[in-house]
Amino acid sequence: MILANVFCLFFFLGTGADPAVSTKSNHCLDAAKACNLNDNCKKLRSSYISICNREISPSERCNRRKCHKALRQFFDRVPSEYTYRMLFCSCQDQACAERRRQTILPSCSYEDKEKPNCLDLRSLCRTDHLCRSRLADFHANCRASYQTLTSCPTDNYQACLGSYAGMIGFDITPNYVDSSPTGIVVSPWCSCRGSGNMEEECEKFLKDFTENPCLRNAIQAFGNGTDVNLSPKNPPFQATQAPRVEKTPSLPDDLSDSTSLGTSVITTCTSVQEQGLKANNSKELSMCFTELTTNIIPGSKRVIKPNSGPRRARPSAALTAASFLMLKLAL
């Protein structure tokens, strides 16, 4: 038993040769080696491997409570750039997929002699406030959505992966159900046998893991490196909004729409005035110049240039002043 534990320790720490390396790349082994290059990751990983492999007695393979605690510390305290690579690494063969499945030491942290009912396992989780919170996060962030491209709420793969990893180290710990390199299926260690009239609810709960397109796509995308552009800050799609329409100044009652300048011209020129742009030979600025140097005579439909307007206005003003003077002298 001691020799078996020593071999297992070397297998997980990635210090020895791996037969899969000779034929093709083993991303899960690469992830383990990367963890060993980080002091914190290596320390906490070695700790949970040692604790979860420590046999208590011939009838008790390990102390599951301590194993779960060590796993929680590892996933809570080690950056996701290391933990996610080990947990969601992509595989092309069974040896790699088995290493991925063995990441959390399932013989201690996951498997048991018999599978409990999934609803009983859920009820047990809900009695612990932290487990209840982690399970609620998983349902919120990994809920299958058929209104998004990725099947995840707001196309957020990272939130789903984080919620999944957050449940490891509790009674409801999920894991890969087999060593298939292509068909990704994860589940808690439970079944729906003996659910009675609650079987439909039990199946629904179990399928949130086993047949969840959001979770499956998130794991595959991370392993393939195709999730880099999907984050809550930059969602790939945004709701279409109606174009903004700026109100144009209301026209006088005696001025018809035919004499008004186009809305696009007014908007463009307003922007030019506010931003203080320099004039150039563009079409838009030529239109602005036309607008800004043209006046509309109130009460008529004629437009005049400011340069010619004052010359026409001066004789009219002079005649008005002369008439007023003559009238005053006559009085």
- Decide: 236 and 155 in contact? Cβ < 8 Å: yes
Tokens of 94: 């069974």
- Decide: 55 and 4 in contact? Cβ < 8 Å: no
Report pLDDT digits (tens) over 272-331: 344 444 444 444 344 443 333 444 444 444 444 444 444 444 444 444 555 555 555 555
Report pLDDT digits (tens) over 204-244: 999 999 999 999 999 999 988 776 444 443 333 333 344 44
Distance, in Å, from the CA atom of 238 to the CA atom of 241, rounded to the nearest integer, reads 9
Q: HEC profile for the chain?
A: CHHHHHHHHHHHHCCCCCHHHHCCCCHHHHHHHHHHCCHHHHHHHHHHHHHHCCCCECCECCCHHHHHHHHHHHHHHCCHHHHHHHHCCCCCCHHHHHHHHHHHCHHHHCCCCCCCEHHHHHHHHHCCHHHHHHHHHHHHHCCCCCCCCCCCHHHCHHHHHHHHHHCCCCCCCEEECCCCCCCCCEEECCECCCCHHHHHHHHHHHHHHHCCHHHHHHHHHHHHCCCCCCECCECCCCCCCCCCCCCCCCCCCCCCHHHCCCHHHHHHHHHHHHHCCCCCCCHHHHHHHHHHCCEECCCCCCEECCCCHHHHHHHHHHHHHHHHHHHHHHC
Is the pLDDT score of 2 beyond 60?
Answer: no
Which residue did the predictor score with more confidence, 266 or 95? 95
Average pLDDT of the chain to the nearest whole number: 75
pLDDT score for 58: 83
Radius of gyration of the chain (CA): 37
Would you tell me how many other CB atoms lie within 10 Å of the CB of residue 134? Answer: 21
pLDDT score for 134: 97
pLDDT score for 211: 94
Which residue did the predictor score with more confidence, 119 or 236? 119
Distance, in Å, from the CA atom of 109 to the CA atom of 62, rounded to the nearest integer, reads 9
Is the pLDDT score of 125 beyond 50?
Answer: yes
Tokens of 175: 């894991």
What whole-number percentage of the chain has pLDDT above 90?
Answer: 53
pLDDT score for 60: 86
> pLDDT class for 265, splitting at 50, 70, 90?
very low
Report pLDDT digits (tens) over 130-150: 999 999 999 999 998 888 888
Distance, in Å, from the CA atom of 184 to the CA atom of 211, rounded to the nearest integer, reads 10
Report pLDDT digits (tens) over 170-186: 999 999 999 998 889 99
What is the pTM for the complete model shown? 0.63
Would you tell me how many other CB atoms lie within 10 Å of the CB of residue 58? Answer: 7
Is the pLDDT score of 56 beyond 50?
Answer: yes
Which residue did the predictor score with more confidence, 13 or 77? 77
pLDDT score for 233: 37
pLDDT score for 320: 52
> pLDDT class for 257, splitting at 50, 70, 90?
very low
Residue 137 buriedness (CB in 10 A; 0-12 / 13-18 / 19+): middle
For helices 118-126 and 129-141, the axis angle rounded to 10 degrees is 120
Which residue did the predictor score with more confidence, 227 or 80? 80
Report pLDDT digits (tens) over 9-49: 444 545 444 443 344 689 999 999 999 999 999 999 999 99
Would you tell me how many other CB atoms lie within 10 Å of the CB of residue 281? Answer: 6
Distance, in Å, from the CA atom of 104 to the CA atom of 123, rounded to the nearest integer, reads 23
